[in-house]
Amino acid sequence: MGLSEIIKLERPLLILMLGVLLSHLGTYMVIPILPIMLRLEAGLSLIQIGTVLAAIAIAFQFGSLLGGFLADRIGRRFIIGLGALVGAGGLIGFGLFTTYLLLLLMAITIGLGNGLNAPSTKAAIAALASEENQTTAFSLRGIAANIGTATAGLIVFFLITGTSHIIFWLAGIIYILLTIKSWLFLPKNCGDDPCPVIPAGAYREVFKHKPFLVFGTVSILIWALYAQLALALPLRAADILPDPKNVALIWTINSAIVIFLQGSVTNWIIQRLHPLTALGFGMVFIGFGVGSLYWSSAFIHLVISGAIFVMGEMLILPTIDSTVSQLSRAELIGLFFGLANVVAGLGEAGGNFVGGRLLEVGTTISYLPWVVYGTTGIFICLIVFMLKRWQPIHKALQKAAEKEDGPKHAPKVSPGPTQHRSHPFDRWEPEILFRKRRDT
């Protein structure tokens, strides 16, 4: 992405990108060391740690539903700021409490705040970006997120010593700054246009959208496996590293990989594949990345596992966002993204709960969790490939591809003959890799 493309973005979009950076900066000062803190400082069991992380994801679901609904009704600026403020309260609470029940309550508070914030931000980006700049805007969002994540890891590694509690205080302050920035500088209500008045009955239409519902159901499995790295890697680091907090650097390295390689992965792989093909391959990388932690005995091994995982992440995250956008209805985009975040929350909650129990079993059968992770990645890949051949979702994506005002270069299926269902471009030939694509 060139500087000229960034300059073309509207000012509110740039403010939203700064918000994405700040939210990831605050969040990833906490995420890498949270399982370690819960285990070493709060003395929680592996099952309790998984339950706390699951509580964040479950609360995220309810916040996403509420946030998507309110963002479409009363405006995104207020909801984005409110979510950040609620999240700040939960983060600061983690720095104050060490008992299981209070930590569980703070986890719910963080999940609720992030649930309010995340879908509202995505919907605001989708709504405020012109059709010409929408793909650029979502790409920039990913870069901003990873700059925040990378910076967070460096802060934890170089500036934080001793107790972990100061990390939670700093993260809470960052979220408060995000609240102030959002309320002061984002457009009031829904921008230049009035917020749409949507009859309550219209929301039932989302639950009649079979391609979106089926894709969402499969996404639960995707997010369940995706959540395992944030749980398994820190706990593995606690077993093999002299200073487990150094694990924060792995998130910095992963983010650097995304910043430098996401554009190439998008141009040379994602844009040349059917979105569900990219999604399936991504799940294999994610499963193998988490499963390979079994052989970790030093910091470099954790870095390698994280790098394998992040290759899958670069394939699945932009593809999921793009697919949700193509399956959604424009007037209900906030609700669609809200429900997509509910799905992510369901998957992560189930993944964290099951992952905690699986790692508990792994204390007696050491190889079992890691074998399950690897085989699950392959299993989900096969399910996604079967979904790719399901006609209703193919037709829905095909319809989105035929829109003349759709985002440029988004992963999409061909509107051509059905015997070439897998190709993402407007030329009727099989998926292509390692060949230059002609513009259409």
- Lowest mean pLDDT: which of 31-35, 263-267, 415-419? 415-419
Indicate left, alpha or beta for 246 from its phi (over 0: left) and psi (-120 to 50: alpha).
alpha
Which tens digits make up the pLDDT trace of 379-438?
999 999 999 888 888 888 877 766 655 444 444 444 333 333 333 333 333 444 444 545
Residues near 328 by beta carbon (within 8 Å), at least 6 away in sequence: 212, 336, 337
Mean pLDDT of 203-228: 88
Q: Is the pLDDT of residue 198 over 70?
A: no
Closest by CA position to 418, among listed 428, 432, 431: 428
Mean pLDDT of 169-183: 94
Which tens digits make up the pLDDT trace of 350-360?
999 899 999 98
Decide: 286 and 233 in contact? Cβ < 8 Å: no
Decide: 283 and 312 in contact? Cβ < 8 Å: yes
What one-character DSSP code corresponds to residue 72? H
Question: Is residue 269 in a domain?
Answer: yes
Provide the number of structural domains found in the chain.
Answer: 1
Question: Is residue 433 in a domain?
Answer: no
Mean pLDDT of 371-379: 96
Mean per-residue pLDDT over the chain, rounded:
81
Residue 28 sits in a domain whose CATH number is 1.20.1250.20
Question: Is residue 52 in a domain?
Answer: yes
Question: Is residue 63 in a domain?
Answer: yes
Helix/strand/coil for 234: helix
What one-character DSSP code corresponds to residue 294? G
Exposed / middle / buried, residue 14 (Cβ in 10 Å: 0-12, 13-18, 19+): middle
Question: Is residue 322 in a domain?
Answer: yes
Q: Is the pLDDT of residue 197 over 90?
A: no
The pLDDT score that the predictor gives to residue 404 is 56
Question: Is residue 1 in a domain?
Answer: no
Cα-based angle 54, 278, 433 (whole degrees, multiple of 5): 155
Mean pLDDT of 188-194: 60
**Cα 204 from Cα 127, distance rounded (Å):** 22
Q: Is the pLDDT of residue 4 over 60?
A: no
Decide: 386 and 394 in contact? Cβ < 8 Å: no
Count of alpha carbons within 13 angstroms of residue 169, beta-carbon side: 8
Mean pLDDT of 91-118: 92
Question: Is residue 428 in a domain?
Answer: no
Residues near 438 by beta carbon (within 8 Å), at least 6 away in sequence: 427
Q: Is the pLDDT of residue 157 over 90?
A: no
Residues near 55 by beta carbon (within 8 Å), at least 6 away in sequence: 104, 107, 108, 111, 349
Q: Which domain holds residue 143?
A: 10-193+206-420
Question: Is residue 437 in a domain?
Answer: no
**Cα 418 from Cα 422, distance rounded (Å):** 9
